[in-house]
Amino acid sequence: MNTLIDELKQLIIRVLDLEDVTPADIDPQAPLFGDGLGLDSIDALELGVAIQKHYHITLDATSAETRQHFYSLANLAKFITERQAS
Amino acid sequence: MNAADKIILFSGQRPQLSATQYRVVAYTGNGELLADDFHARVAGIARHLRQRPEQRWALVCDDTFWFAVGFLALARARKTLIFPQASGPANVAEAQAAAVLTDQPTRFPSLVTLDVAAVTESGTAVGTDLDDELLIELYTSGSTGRPKRVDKLLGQLRAEVAALEVQWGQTLGDAVVLATVPHHHLYGLLFRVLWPLWAGRPFYAPTCEQAFEFNTAASRFGRCLMVSSPAFLTRVTDFGRLQPSDAFRAVFSSGAPLPEATAAKIANESGRAAIEVYGSTETGGIAWRDWEPEVGQTPWHCLTGVEIAAPGNTPGLLRVRSPWTWRADWVETGDLGQALAQRRFLLHGRADSVLKVEDKRVSLAEMERHLVAHEFVSEARLLVLKGKRSSVGAVVVLSAAGRRQLQQAGAQKVRKLLLEMLRTWYEPVLVPRKWRFVESLPGNAMGKIESARLQALFTERG
């Protein structure tokens, strides 16, 4: 799980072209959007696309579930792990 | 009285749908909200609002179901409806609202609020028409450095919704309305809230943030339409996945022109051309077009009731008049147009300096004014950076206080504090993503700031 979280940190910084953010700056429990890392709706979309491509998974969820899965890095890692297993 | 009789949002002729189609007003993530409940809430909140002394109410809701309830309740109570430019406390204060009707009361600790979800009064729906002269205030970015207020009368919105139904009602039938755009700007207000309410089409209350949510929703509802924008549609990788493919009765796109490649991709993969809608907060809807292969620039068709004025031989300022422009009078669009035969025209970009970042109009002068007002900043220049996405870049000369903060806490902390301030005013997509702190703004020998040299500050560091 920790490897996956580290990998996701790199992916987020690279795909979203975040300047002056290092992996250490991203708290896995903190919100990705709004007050936490400060990502926006375009980042959410790009991240969704990148995850499906990178991990070869097809995502399927309602809006409320999606919000939960994309809330933090830790939630996202859990979501990806579940989808890879299924 | 059946549910259909109770949804009296507007006077005038209504679409012919069966009563069962009016039964569900909205779908949530996993449930449905019925018309009877909806109208009892509207009536109860309206009754409560009538007893309140405040006349000017901002409506700020995250959830579209509560937004719809709030809209109708305020309209029934004959309050002035205000939609601030964004959903922060600073936006509400700028719009000079006396109170806020909201589903997020904790966001506005220093303002008078009413929690739309907490009103326990309920009432029986009263089948009276709403006042067409009711004032609605919307905000958009102007070019002058301050948010621009645009006034509408409820009757204008009613007229526009009726025109949309004439144009597309038959095609859409009883499709469920899914959306990726906010409900407090005109496009979302009309397409995802008022039009569905009036036509008796259920809407999906959450805002879809990922392309795959459409698959989930499409398989749940079987029939739907999408209210979206180029910022979203250009990032959907596979429209063939929108299954079942016949579930999508229409994909609407507005906010900016849809790139040719995306329009072609939608048509090829989903088997249905996206419907682009052209309009603005000031003018309301103006025209539409379906993408057609191999025509170069596809012409725009005026919506029913819209008149345009533009030169025919060369691009010139496009003017518009319709039943939903203010007092049905001519309005300048700020866009360059060229009239064609049969109420069609071509667009050729902006006539002024208004910019768009991911389909959202932004005034950089206004944002610079906010930055310079901060104690850390003495000068600021903003620019639009082009890349995989468009975004705002900030070049900032710090004040003495700002420099002290930079030395003590570092650039990251200074950037964070400035971003926090800007986020109280702006939607997340518009706040600067890249920052450069400089000793002085790059000027030429004449003292003029050169945009090429500002741009270079961002390309040099990759």
**Residue whose token pair is 């002729």:** B13
The answer to whether B100 touches B114, Cβ cutoff 8 Å, is yes
Residue B438 touches partner A, C-beta closer than 8 Å: no
Q: Does the pLDDT value for residue B462 go beyond 60?
A: no
pLDDT score of B371: 96
Q: Which residues of A touch B435 (CB under 8 A)?
A: 19-20
Nearest CA in chain A to B420: A35
The single residue listed with the structure tokens 């059946």 is: B2
User: What is the Cα–Cα distance from B169 to B195, expressed in whole angstroms?
Assistant: 10
B399 touches chain A (CB under 8 A): no
pLDDT more than 70, % of chain B: 90
Residues 145..164 of B with a Cβ closer than 8 Å to A: which? none
Closest chain B residue to A15 measured between Cα atoms?
Answer: B388
pLDDT surpasses 60 at B357 = yes
Residue B233 has pLDDT above 70, yes or no: yes
Q: Considering only B197-206, B241-250, B265-274, which range has the smallest mean pLDDT?
A: B241-250
Residue B354 or residue B276, greater confidence: B276
Residue among B206, B237, B411 whose CB faces A49 most closely: B237
Inter-chain CB proximity B411 and A20 less than 8 Å: yes
Distance of CA B64 to the CA centre of its chain: 13
Residue B46 has pLDDT above 50, yes or no: yes
Instruction: Answer yes or no: do A41 and B415 touch at CB < 8 A.
Output: no
Closest partner residue to A61 (CB to CB) among B216, B388, B423 is B216
Per cent of chain B over pLDDT 90 is 60
What pLDDT, on a 0 to 100 scale, did the predictor assign at position B144?
64
**Domains along the sequence of chain B with CATH:** 1-153 (3.40.50.980), 363-459 (3.30.300.30)
Residue B12's pLDDT is 46
Mean pLDDT of B67-92: 94
Residue-wise pLDDT tens digits, B415-439: 999 999 998 888 889 999 999 999 9
B373 to chain A, closest Cα gap in Å: 22
Q: Strand pairing of B307-309 and B316-321? A: antiparallel
Single-letter amino acid code for the residue at B344: R
Q: What is the pLDDT of residue B129?
A: 66
The predicted structure's pLDDT at residue B350:
83
Region B371-394 average pLDDT: 93
Range scoring the smallest mean pLDDT among B217-226, B373-382, B406-415: B217-226
Residue-wise pLDDT tens digits, B91-127: 999 999 999 999 999 999 999 999 999 988 877 765 5
H/E stretch holding B6 reads: helix B3-6
Q: Which of the four pLDDT bands, split at 50, 70 and 90, describes residue B4?
A: very low
pLDDT tens profile A35-45: 778 899 999 99
What's the full length of chain A, in residues? 86
The verdict on a CB contact (< 8 Å) between A42 and B210 is no
State how far the Cα of A41 lies from the Cα of B414, in Å rounded to an integer.
Answer: 24
Cβ count within 10 A of residue B173: 14
Q: What is the mean pLDDT of chain B?
A: 88
Does B350 or B376 have the greater pLDDT score? B376
Check if B415 contacts A (Cβ < 8 Å).
yes
Interface test with B, best of A21, A25, A41, A52 (most B CBs within 10 A): A41
Q: Which residues of B touch A62 (CB under 8 A)?
A: 29-30, 206, 213, 216-217
| Domains along chain A with CATH numbers | 2-85 (1.10.1200.10)
**Closest approach of chain A CAs to the CA of B214, in angstroms?**
9
pLDDT value at residue B22: 65
Q: What's the pLDDT score for residue B238?
A: 81
Burial (CB count within 10 angstroms: exposed 0-12, middle 13-18, buried 19+), residue B264: middle
How many contacts does A have with B, using Cβ atoms within 8 A? 86
Question: Residue B311 — pLDDT band, cuts 50, 70, 90?
Answer: confident
CB pair distance less than 8 Å for B235 and A45: yes
Q: B411-423 and B400-409 are packed helices; what angle lies between their axes, rounded to 10 degrees?
A: 120
**Whether the Cβ atoms of residue B376 and residue B399 lie closer than 8 Å to each other:** yes
Q: What does the pLDDT read at residue B217? A: 85
Mean pLDDT of the region A8-15: 95
Tokens 């389909």 found at = B359
Question: Nearest-CA neighbor of B333 among B258, B280, B257, B276?
Answer: B280
What residues of A are in the B interface, CB distance below 8 Å? 17, 19-20, 25, 33-34, 38-42, 44-46, 48-49, 52-53, 58-67, 70
Instruction: Count CA within 13 A, CB hemisphere, residue B330.
Output: 8
Residue of chain B whose Cα is closest to the Cα of A25: B412
What would the pLDDT profile of B124-183 be if each residue is shown by its tens digit?
Answer: 765 566 888 999 999 987 666 677 899 999 999 999 999 999 999 989 988 999 999 999
Identify the three-state secondary structure at position B88.
Answer: coil
Q: What is the mean pLDDT of residues B298-319?
A: 93
Which residues in chain B touch residue A13, judged by CB atoms under 8 angstroms apart? none
Is residue B1's pLDDT more than 60? Answer: no
- Provide the pLDDT for residue B128: 60
Task: Confirm if B436 and A19 have CB atoms less than 8 A apart.
Answer: no
